[in-house]
Amino acid sequence: MSGGWYGLAKPALFALDAETAHNVTLSMLSAYARVLPRPDPVEDGVEQMGLTFGSRLGLAAGLDKNARAIPAWQRLGFGFVEVGTVTAYPQPGNPPPRLFRIPDALALFNRMGFNNEGAEVVGQRLARLRDKDAVTVPVGINLGKSKVTPNAEAAADYKKSFRATAPYADYVVINVSSPNTPGLRNLQSTEQLAIILDAVMEANQELDQGRPVLVKLAPDLADEDTLACADTARDKGCAGLIISNTTIDKSLVDDPPAGSGGLSGAPLLARSTAQLKQVRDHVGPDFTLIGVGGVTDAAGAQAKRDAGADLVQIYSGLIYRGPRLIDELTAALADG
């Protein structure tokens, strides 16, 4: 339905370096959302966390960090959209090159480092969209720690971002799993995570209606640490988990780019799906799990559902397969 233009544009985009192609595409989607065809209405919404999702398929965090193209993602047919990661203070991210394609593996490798305009600016952008009634599907905001903030002050940093954005979001994600902010993944220790969640939940109670809060985990956690994080998230009143972020295991591809970063796309499917299943088996049915990592076709989406995902997100698959993947996965997920 909506994907034909990408087949035409892809060779030109792939002739550019990956980050330039990303910026060009995002600018086009931001400027021309209105010319995209409207999605076919989805028959039944999906109820999760007290929200009604247009479908089980969402856009993963990191593609639209600054919430520039929400109307376009809706028109392309996503049932929900997660924007961010944003941080309390605007920051430029790591020096380029910092985004790499690995086409043979349907994979991406990145060390973006939370380049974003900051929670205040992005929160206000969301507020303006709400004022215009331009938001038609649940929008999540993904929060990370500012690079300038030491880990010891992480809780206050997340709280500041939460206050600036949560009033305009449907759900909030605490991201402690990016490999590209030094020390961030140490915040997955149960002690650190508990302190951050206490601070965020305190801010959540200031809202007329509290938002569902989720934690996004790294696929590189040891099994017992994954389950400890799940327990902490539940104990602190979270609504669910997002599993998973990118992996630092470069051995999953033959010829990885030099330097540090996180690997996403097809090579991540098995690991992130196994982690998802492990958590589902541990937490039982009543805790929302969003499965993300390596979904590039209907079989991958079905694997996430079989492993216990209530909702599924994509990033890398969209780069390689284009918007037609949205239609394909929406249909696959509607059946299961």
Ligand X SMILES: Cc1cc2nc3c(=O)[nH]c(=O)nc-3n(C[C@H](O)[C@H](O)[C@H](O)COP(=O)(O)O)c2cc1C
Q: Which residue ranges make up the site for ligand X (CB under 6 A)?
A: 60-62, 65, 85, 99, 108, 110, 112, 114, 142, 175, 178, 216, 245-246, 264-265, 268, 292-295, 314-317
Return the amino acid letter for 131. Answer: D
CB of 109 to ligand X, least distance (A): 8
Task: Choose between 293 and 323: whose C-beta lies nearer to ligand X.
Answer: 293
User: Do 105 and 266 contact (CB within 8 A), yes or no?
Assistant: yes
In 3D space, the residue among 111, 17, 60 whose CA is nearest the CA of residue 214 turns out to be 60
CB of 292 to ligand X, least distance (A): 5
DSSP-derived secondary structure letter, 257 = P
Return the amino acid letter for 266. Answer: A
The owner of tokens 């009143």 is 237
- Longest CA span, the chain: 51
DSSP 299-312: HHHHHHHHTT-SEE
Task: Choose between 63 and 203: whose C-beta lies nearer to ligand X.
Answer: 63
In 3D space, the residue among 98, 106, 105 whose CA is nearest the CA of residue 254 turns out to be 105
CB of 243 to ligand X, least distance (A): 9
CB of 108 to ligand X, least distance (A): 4
Q: Which residues touch 7 (CB under 8 Å, ≥6 apart)?
A: 322, 324
Q: Which residues touch 177 (CB under 8 Å, ≥6 apart)?
A: 184, 185, 188, 216, 217, 218, 244, 245
- The Cα-based distances of 178 to 100, 101, 109, 294, 319 in angstroms read 16, 18, 12, 16, 20
Helix extents (H) in 49-170: 70-76, 119-131, 154-165
User: Do 161 and 87 contact (CB within 8 A), yes or no?
Assistant: yes
Task: Choose between 116 and 208: whose C-beta lies nearer to ligand X.
Answer: 116
Task: Choose between 268 and 326: whose C-beta lies nearer to ligand X.
Answer: 268
CB of 262 to ligand X, least distance (A): 7
Residue 178 annotated to the active site: yes
Q: Which of 55, 161, 178, 264 is catalytic?
A: 178
Distance from C-alpha of 292 to C-alpha of 322, rounded to nearest angstrom: 17
CB of 114 to ligand X, least distance (A): 6
Give the active site residues.
Answer: 178
